[in-house]
Structure 1
């Protein structure tokens, strides 16, 4: 294999695909590599850890077709160290040679025969309403769990609703739900659970002027974004039954300026150390945020707000509360509560298409 390309384009492709490479040694060492396959002037780079695969196509000045697998992190570091300009790449005798100006590197390659076969998903693609889909995805993904012991909580549930598509995530302490009316993506009896990690890559790769095509087949899904394809294994298992957790009636209602609330949470949480919650005291006088950590200090802040209901004090994890305020859109948002122990809901003031449900923390 032999080709010539620009350093910046090559480095971008390496960094994008390398995010799917694995880190295990031993028999899984091949998963730490990126496969480069050249046909004519098209170079296809692929990395996978078997659960997530990222491929990217790059146009180069091809000389000799072929393929090679080289450690993803190492080649990315090497190419990144080069000065901008043309890079010459040649593979022979089990080694890859990279030349640029006066710099020359020779790296060992791995046997490409051991690299996993990548599934070609050839089902008909669905071209997404990209802006709405990505906006909904950004809203819900923070509520997914990073605890790998409960795999079904590591994903984003996509399910069909009467009016369109619904996205749901939960880590058992909070839940985010977003409806997309009019987006018919799934069959009426089809639910899919896509790993949040894979969707984070889709978010990272997305550019506002791009279309995204989505395909499903068997236990996999793929997203095409420009010249990049993200392929992910779907999560097997039953997503928790969540509909019964969403309160149907919450008599207490706090309406507040979103930016003011976000800034106040950021300030007060400085004193919410060692798992200390933030307390919200709600009354007709408005809202007071407070956090007290023994032997550290305390913070209090008064905010103007409109409150309807019985005076109430409720406490939340400060990071979870901040996430909820940040992903809920609108100049003003509403916090709905029942009492200090039952789930609270954060929503946009004039829309019910998105909700962020948050469990309170018991306080003395």
Structure 2
């Protein structure tokens, strides 16, 4: 949303064992820790335009090293003898730690690729604004999309679920994006109820977190 510049950037902040990347559009939030990196050691947090980091990602190769040079209002990234400079976004980034729940009691674990592909299939039959419902219980996971013109699309996904029976709905595109960018083979969806933020986590990569807000359903 270009009308809210703060939300067009990626927040980069030094952590005790590396640094952290955070981005949000107010409907979802992604966090990725980079342990072992000293890119921001001793530096204040910065807010980098997401477009600049997208360009930087195109230059990255496996095991590439990135150097960061900070000015008062700009940052330069150097990789493979190429330097890219971008103006930093000014303003205060949202207190993202307050948004991330740490006690969601309901946990569903599934194969990431199987869940991703099931969401894709259900989404094909859903209209653009139609949310996907997740029905979680003792029998695992059911994905459902309802439309007036086509009817209902159902998918059963093999999953392990611990928690109270729960039906929760998400924007299909936002859910799919989280499943696509998550690392590892298995993914865990942590929820409290159908109104509070849900969190996607990778069992094999604890440095990854993807929060998304549910959609209200009748």
TM-score normalised by length of structure 2: 0.95
Corresponding position: 1:156 with 2:10: yes
Q: 1:253 maps to what in 2?
A: 107
User: Cα deviations across residues 122-173 of structure 1 (Å, max 9, x unaligned)?
Assistant: xxxxxxxxxxxxxxxxxxxxxxxxx100001101101112222111000000
The CA deviation at 1:189 is 6.0
Q: Residue 49 of structure 2 aligns with which residue?
A: 195
Residue 241, structure 1, aligned to residue 95, structure 2: yes
Q: d(CA) in 1 for partners of 2:69 and 2:191?
A: 40
- Following the alignment from structure 1 to structure 2, what is the Cα–Cα distance between the partners of residues 177 and 209? 21
Q: Quick one: distance in 2 between partners of 1:189 and 1:358?
A: 29
The answer to whether structure 1 residue 183 and structure 2 residue 183 are counterparts is: no
The 8 Å contact of residues 39 and 68 in structure 2, kept in 1 or not, is answered as no
SS of the equivalent of 1:190 reads coil
For residues 209 and 158 of structure 1, the distance between their equivalents in structure 2, rounded to whole angstroms, comes to 20
SS at match of 2:55: helix
Structure 2 counterpart of 1:341: 195
Once residues 51 and 127 of structure 2 are traced to their aligned partners in structure 1, the CA distance between those partners, rounded to angstroms, is 28
Q: Give runs of aligned pairs for residues 126-145 of structure 1, distance below 5 A.
A: none
Q: What's the counterpart of residue 179 of structure 2?
A: 325
Q: Deviations over 1:56-93 (max 9, x none)?
A: xxxxxxxxxxxxxxxxxxxxxxxxxxxxxxxxxxxxxx
Pick closer, same or farther for the CA change 1:210–1:251 going to 2, 3 Å.
closer
1:214 partnered with 2:86: no
Contact 1:274 1:293 in 2 (8 A): no
In structure 2, C-alpha distance between the alignment counterparts of 1:228 and 1:191, rounded to whole Å: 23
2:216 corresponding residue in structure 1:
362
Contact 2:186 2:204 in 1 (8 A): no
User: 1: distance between equivalents of 2:67 and 2:78?
Assistant: 5
**Whose radius of gyration is greater, 1 or 2?**
1
Q: Are 1:271 and 2:125 an aligned pair?
A: yes
Distance, in Å, in 2 between the alignment partners of 1:164 and 1:174 is 23
Q: Does 1:298 align with 2:165?
A: no
Distance 1:161 1:212 in 2: 17
Per the TM alignment, residue 330 of structure 1 is displaced from its structure 2 partner at its CA by 1.5
CA-to-partner distance for each residue in 1:74-129, whole Å, 9 max, x for gaps?
Answer: xxxxxxxxxxxxxxxxxxxxxxxxxxxxxxxxxxxxxxxxxxxxxxxxxxxxxxxx
More helix by share: 1
Count residues in correspondence: 218
The correspondence for 1:205, drawn from 59, 64, 85, is: 59
Runs of 5+ unmatched residues, structure 1: 1-146
Gaps of 5+ in 2: none
Deviations 1:252-277 (A, max 9, x none): 00010111001001100112214110
Question: RMSD value over aligned CA atoms?
Answer: 1.5
